[in-house]
Amino acid sequence: MLQWTIGDVKVTRVVEVEFTSTVEGFLLGVKADEMARYQSWMKPFLDAEGDIVISVQTFALEVDGQRVIVDTCIGNGKNFGNLMPAMNDLQTAFLDDLTAAGFPPESVGTVICTHLHMDHVGWNTVLRDGKWAPTFPNARYVMTEVDLGYWSKERTQVVGSSFDDAVQPLIDAKLVDAVASDHQVSESLSLFPTPGHSPGHVSVRIRSKDQQAFITGDMVHSPVQLARPEWSSRADTDPELAQSSRRKFLSVVGGADALVLGTHFPAPTAGRLVKEGDGWRFSV
């Protein structure tokens, strides 16, 4: 289990599943051979065929005296029909793994959803007596006002049934805090707006004792997008806005000594931005 310390904050990675995708299948208008020049440092994030490895995982934080979960993966027993067949009806030991990592569901005080796609909200709920019920009964679920507003109207295309299964039950239980995209969650923890992948998408910023880290969310899916911010994922709602968010992120984080934790990056998952030419390389 990978762990990092940022000042007084401890971050633990809990993995649900991993997928692979071809470069062309994942990045809009990018050919596999364009990846070759990044091979030296992209190697850990590609499989033997050169396909992109996508890890679906949670970052579990001990921060400012509480336990916080950032994104809740896909969940068990969810069904998205033809939209994302590989994610249908999973049965993983994710909750046991989370508990073993020191985060039994009832101990979690805050759940942050970087956005409301199905692979980020799944474990918000579990099936109890035939109904989707809150997995973390004592938590406030933090979501941006913008994403909530957008996806409550656009329930089909990208999010499939996940709004009804993993968001609406929390709204009904009055557990949701609809917040601004720069919301301060607690002293060391804030949201950092990175719209584009979804309209209200946020990354998460950790600051403690002069140390700093960012959890990307789906601002990027692969570290290569930090070197090539113009490369959008096919899942980005607004590729141009996503690109400008990546550039803005690089302008803030590129010069700073900050750890970058990739929400979909397989192990080693975290690294720092190192200047290379007029761009950046992800150094682990």
Interface positions with Zn ion (CB under 5 A): 119, 218
Q: How far is the CB of 107 from Zn ion (least distance, A)?
A: 25
Q: How far is the CB of 261 from Zn ion (least distance, A)?
A: 14
Is there a contact between 114 and 204 (Cβ–Cβ < 8 Å)? yes
Nearer to Zn ion, 197 or 228 (CB): 197
User: How many angstroms separate the first and last alpha carbons of the chain?
Assistant: 16
User: What secondary structure does DSSP assign to 36-50, as a single string?
Assistant: GGGHHHHGGGB-TTS
61: how many CB neighbours lie within 10 A of its CB? Answer: 29
Nearer to Zn ion, 114 or 181 (CB): 114
DSSP run (H or E) holding 257: none
Q: How far is the CB of 217 from Zn ion (least distance, A)?
A: 8
**Which pair of structure tokens corresponds to residue 171?**
């709204």
User: What secondary structure does DSSP assign to 133-155, as a single string?
Assistant: EESSTT-EEEEEHHHHHHHHH--
Q: How far is the CB of 264 from Zn ion (least distance, A)?
A: 6
CA 29/CA 67 separation, integer angstroms: 40
Nearer to Zn ion, 228 or 264 (CB): 264
CA 17/CA 89 separation, integer angstroms: 13
* Distances from the Cα of 55 to the Cα of 43, 106, 131, angstroms: 15, 25, 28
Q: How far is the CB of 33 from Zn ion (least distance, A)?
A: 26
Nearer to Zn ion, 85 or 279 (CB): 85
Nearer to Zn ion, 13 or 281 (CB): 13
